[in-house]
Structure 1
Amino acid sequence: MQPKVLDLFAGCGGLSLGLSQAGFDVTAAVEIDQWAADTYRRNHQGVEVIQADIRSLESELLRDRFRGKIDLVAGGPPCQGFSVSGKRQYGHIKDQNTLVEEFVRAVKAVEPNLVLIENVGGFRTGHIKPGNPVMAYLEAALRGLGYEVASKVLQATDYGVPSLRSRIFIVGSRFGFPCSPFPLPTHSADHRLDSEPFISCWEAISDLPELRASEGVDEFVAYGSGPANAYQRAMRAGSPGVANHIAMKHTPRLVERFLALPQGSKGYDVGRTGKDHPEGPVTVYKSNNQRLVADIPSLCITANFQSTYVHPYQPRNLTAREAARLMSYPDNFYFCGKRTQMSSGFLKKYGREHEDFLSQYNQIGNSVPPRLGRAIGLELQSLLSRCQSKHDRSTGADFLIEESV
């Protein structure tokens, strides 16, 4: 019988997909955002999607619906408040950080055998509130509920994902840890005997139809060419073609300047000085418009990658499908909602908060790469099987594994 999962803060369902690929039965998911929930429903048919703010779900309801029926409660509380690239570097602590407490409240109500939390590396040093470090809170709270706790930072490229993505995974177990809950790397840069080589950006996306600025469609179209490698064959499996593959609209001037942008360089560096470029750089933002290098894994796909990365060969930013490929989403995984969206600040300024949903680009950039989710899911399956077969809930020592990036 497949162990059952409740996925909290489920987003579009990258973690759910990975856990499903590892043999878990995802029973229900909680997600507040309309477009992300639409994507989840389309790609996880048969899973109950509870579209709600987790704070509105009473503990009694969670207990009645799920206690005794769920083996694993998993999820990634919103990470923006823990990222070191945002306002946190100036001492700002987001109200969203307290959603970690909501995750713990759900665990207390459901009482699963295993707990899995995923978040950005900055989670290790972040705070729920001033003077309240999130890791210290989480470890103490889970141990108080009878779980032993282990944590480790995993790099997505080590598990067959063609893009960098360093994330912390925290596991709580009622069984203890007779074996590690974390997977050994399967891929490496030097292609050791016990691993496969990293998958490069170009290996991941080279078979997708070539597009010029503004070209492409959202619905499925034929590939136009055959797969060039095993990764592309895996991504195509079961898909009728390519969807969510629309190029951004760019002015002729921007296209011209992208053509002059070498791989590995940034738009900020193009035309900063000199008589030939009096108009200044392509962008005033140092992290925007970085041309990806074809023969290595992509840089980390972020929630605003529509302006962050330039295709390694074509003079345009990435499409949603190209980013999904780099995150290891199969081609039959369709993303709902608009491709891009105005910022929350802009929509609030003009009284349009009711339009504030996660775009396709946001959904992809916020998610767990399915291959990474699958890798840790397989280890959790092994842990469950090993412990349940022994009927021993007290095995293992209380410890915390923590590894720096």
Structure 2
Amino acid sequence: MQPKVLDLFAGCGGLSLGLSQAGCEIVAAVEIDQWAADTYRRNHLGVEVIQADIRSLDSGYLRERFKGGVDLIAGGPPCQGFSVSGKRQYGHIKEQNNLVEEFIRVVEAVEPKVVLIENVSGFRTGHIKPGNPVMSYLKVELNRLGYEFDARVLQATEYGVPSLRRRIFVVGSRIGFPSSPFPIATHSAEATISAEPFISTWDAISDLPSLRASEGVDEFVPYAHEPANDYQREIRAQSSGVANHIAMKHTPRLVERFTALPQGSKGYDLGRTAGRDGEGPVTIYKSNNQRLIACEPSLCITANFQSTYVHPFQPRNLTAREAARLMSYPDTYYFCGKRTQMSSGFLKKYGREHEDFLSQYNQIGNSVPPRLGRAIGLQLRSLLSFPETQDQDRRFTALPLIEESA
């Protein structure tokens, strides 16, 4: 028997995929965005996708539809309001932060045995509203509903994901904590008896077809090379080729700049000598482009990574497929919608809010890496006392409590 899961704020389905890989059954997913929901439907056949604003779902409907049929409610309320970058550093609290209250409302209606909330590490110090820290709110509310409470920050690279990504996981349990709800690390900077070495950027993407700026197609094309390592063999399993692999359009000047950019350096570091007479101020290339280091895990894949990272060897930004590889999505996973999208502010300014959906890049950058979801899914499955299936990856079985990951 498999634990049954309701995934809230499901996005393109990274957490659902990881939980499914851990042997859980996703009975339904709630997601408001059209393109993210399209991606979810395409890759999670048979799962009911409720495309709606969670605030519009009546508690009575949720109770009637899911109470008694869901063991685990999981999900990540929108995280932008909890990030320590942007306006939050000046005390601004986003309206989306109160969606945590909606998550608790669903929990109260459905009464699952276990609750899992995922968010950025800044969630620990964030506020739902002034004077109401989100972690204190969750502890009080989950305790009120009969759940024990625990939380831990996990680093994705320590669970076989080839990119840095620190995320907090909050677990509430109505059946107590007979063992830790958090998995022990399976990877480290140096190989040990109990841990494999981190998976590098090049380990993840070296077999993908080489592209110049503007090259590539969105649909599946045959692989250009044989898999070079176990990670690539696993990620390519059951796939006949690679999709969503289109390079960004770059001007010849930008390609030239990227060509001159060493690994580990930023586009901001590139400058020009002074003005025409050699005495004017230096012109700085003000961009956040950073060239990834091939032999190290990627930096954190964010929602705007299309202009954040440069391929370690090729003079261009990353493709959606390369980022999906770095987030541990299998090559069978196809992302719907446009590759990139204009900003919400721009669309609103010109009365085009109806076009405001999450691009492929947004979907990938906002999601939970499936391998990280699988690791915590196996731990929660053990907590729910469901036996592990014979074919499950043994590296992710329940293990003792550990301290917060770096």
Q: Which amino acid aligns with 1:179?
A: S
Q: Which amino acid aligns with 2:404?
A: E
* 2:184 and 2:402 in contact (8 A); partners too: no
- Say if 1:131 and 1:354 are closer, same or farther in 2 by CA, change over 3 A: same
- Cα deviations by residue, 1:349-405 (Å, 9 ceiling, x for unpaired): 111100000000000000000000000000001111179xxxxxxxxxxxx998374
Aligned counterparts, 1:189-200, within 5 A: 189-200=189-200
**3-state SS in 2 of match to 1:264:** coil
Q: TM-score scaled by structure 1?
A: 0.94
**3-state SS in 1 of match to 2:239:** coil
- Say if 1:23 and 1:145 are closer, same or farther in 2 by CA, change over 3 A: same
Query: 1:278 offset after TM fit, Å?
Result: 8.0
Q: Which amino acid aligns with 2:324?
A: A
Residue 164 (structure 2) aligns with? 164
Query: 1:184 offset after TM fit, Å?
Result: 0.3
- Cα deviations by residue, 1:239-292 (Å, 9 ceiling, x for unpaired): 12000000000000000010000000000110165468988333x24xx11000
**3-state SS in 2 of match to 1:118:** strand
**3-state SS in 2 of match to 1:385:** coil
Q: Which amino acid aligns with 1:244?
A: N
For residues 205 and 274 of structure 2, the distance between their equivalents in structure 1, rounded to whole angstroms, comes to 35
For residues 335 and 178 of structure 1, the distance between their equivalents in structure 2, rounded to whole angstroms, comes to 39
* 2:158 and 2:187 in contact (8 A); partners too: yes
Query: 1:164 offset after TM fit, Å?
Result: 0.1
Q: Which amino acid aligns with 1:69?
A: G
- Say if 1:37 and 1:318 are closer, same or farther in 2 by CA, change over 3 A: same
For residues 63 and 273 of structure 1, the distance between their equivalents in structure 2, rounded to whole angstroms, comes to 66
Residue 403 (structure 1) aligns with? 404
Is 1:186 paired with 2:186?
yes
Q: Percent identity?
A: 80
Q: Aligned match of 1:280 in 267, 283, 292?
A: 283
Residue 296 (structure 2) aligns with? 296
Q: TM-score scaled by structure 2?
A: 0.94
Give ranges in structure 1 of 5+ residues lacking alignment. 388-399
Query: 1:86 offset after TM fit, Å?
Result: 1.6
- Cα deviations by residue, 1:195-254 (Å, 9 ceiling, x for unpaired): 100000000000000000000000000011100000000010011200000000000000
Q: Which amino acid aligns with 2:212?
A: R
* 1:303 and 1:366 in contact (8 A); partners too: yes
- Say if 1:321 and 1:386 are closer, same or farther in 2 by CA, change over 3 A: closer
For residues 384 and 302 of structure 1, the distance between their equivalents in structure 2, rounded to whole angstroms, comes to 32
In terms of mean alpha carbon deviation, does 172-181 or 268-277 score higher? 268-277
For residues 215 and 386 of structure 2, the distance between their equivalents in structure 1, rounded to whole angstroms, comes to 52
Residue 35 (structure 1) aligns with? 35
Give ranges in structure 2 of 5+ residues lacking alignment. 388-400
For residues 193 and 226 of structure 1, the distance between their equivalents in structure 2, rounded to whole angstroms, comes to 29
Residue 391 (structure 1) aligns with? none
Residue 370 (structure 2) aligns with? 370
Aligned counterparts, 1:4-403, within 5 A: 4-271=4-271, 274=274, 280-282=283-285, 284-285=286-287, 288-385=288-385, 403=404
* 2:7 and 2:26 in contact (8 A); partners too: yes
Q: Which amino acid aligns with 1:281?
A: I
Q: Which amino acid aligns with 1:218?
A: D
**3-state SS in 2 of match to 1:104:** helix
Following TM superposition, where does structure 1 have runs of at least 4 consecutive aligned residues deviating by more than 4 angstroms?
272-279
* 1:21 and 1:374 in contact (8 A); partners too: yes
* 1:150 and 1:402 in contact (8 A); partners too: no
Structural RMSD (CA): 1.6
How many aligned positions are there? Answer: 390
